[in-house]
Amino acid sequence: MPPLTGSIEIVLGGAAAVSAGVLAYAVRVPSCSLLAPSVHRGAGVRPAIALTFDDGPSESTPELLEILAGHRAPATFFQIGANVRRLPEIAREIVAAGHEIGNHTDTHPLLALKSPGFIDRELAAAQESIQRATGQRPRYFRAPYGVRWFGLRQAQQRLGLAGVMWSSIALDWKRQKPSVVSRLIEGAAPGAILCLHDGRVLQHRPDIGVTLRAVRELLPKLMEQGFRFEKVTDILCPTKN
């Protein structure tokens, strides 16, 4: 009997380890859609890249808009509802410049272990704040920290949001410019979705100097390699010329 008990414990322990591994994969891996439908790259049929910026708007976003305008580079901004309410004029400036706005929740919480109701309220509040400030209702959603959880699928469906992750993330909130640029150059490929940040969660007047310097260096390098820039809406369209 003891050997049988030991075997059962081994089997149960192995099953638990497998389940934990599957859950970790579903929660964090950008290419996984087990918990909520999402994409992490475009079709890759043309030399185009989508630049995306999370956590804004911030007081430094206008400087980023100037850099993008100088290279005629459209982008998609995944914005936090609380930051939009704080800086609605900057959110409107983003739209006026021809960029696209996505939903990045209302207060940037870690969604893991949160209830479906909490998740739905976070997405809905951000949708409302963004639409009220800009007149643009987001079509795309990016989870804070890239973490998905149970209930997110239903919230996205109810609000008409498609999940968008990334094929390469800059880590621009903790790395220096050379590392940020090299990471994104390495991740550059037709259909790539690059993730940077024009804010630092809910900070007022965040220091995004690394991001700004990296974007100034990155854009001409990618253009020299023959890439052009598209919004998420366009990078996901395989028939676009």
Distance in angstroms (rounded) separating the CA atoms of residues 71 and 76 = 15
DSSP H or E run through 3: helix 2-28
Which residues are identified as catalytic? 54, 197
Distance in angstroms (rounded) separating the CA atoms of residues 203 and 198 = 11
Distance in angstroms (rounded) separating the CA atoms of residues 183 and 172 = 10
Count of Cβ atoms closer than 10 Å to residue 15 Cβ: 10
**DSSP 8-class letter at 145:** G
3-class secondary structure per residue, 168-183: EECCCCCCCHHHHHHH
Please say whether the beta carbons of 60 and 203 come within 8 A: no
Please say whether the beta carbons of 114 and 90 come within 8 A: no
3-state class of 184 per DSSP?
Answer: helix
Sign of the C-alpha dihedral, residues 231, 193, 154, 125?
A: negative
- Residues 6+ positions from 123 with CB-CB distance below 8 Å: 103, 105, 106, 141, 155, 156, 159, 161
Please say whether the beta carbons of 111 and 93 come within 8 A: no
Can you name the residues that pair with 33 across neighbouring β-strands?
Answer: none
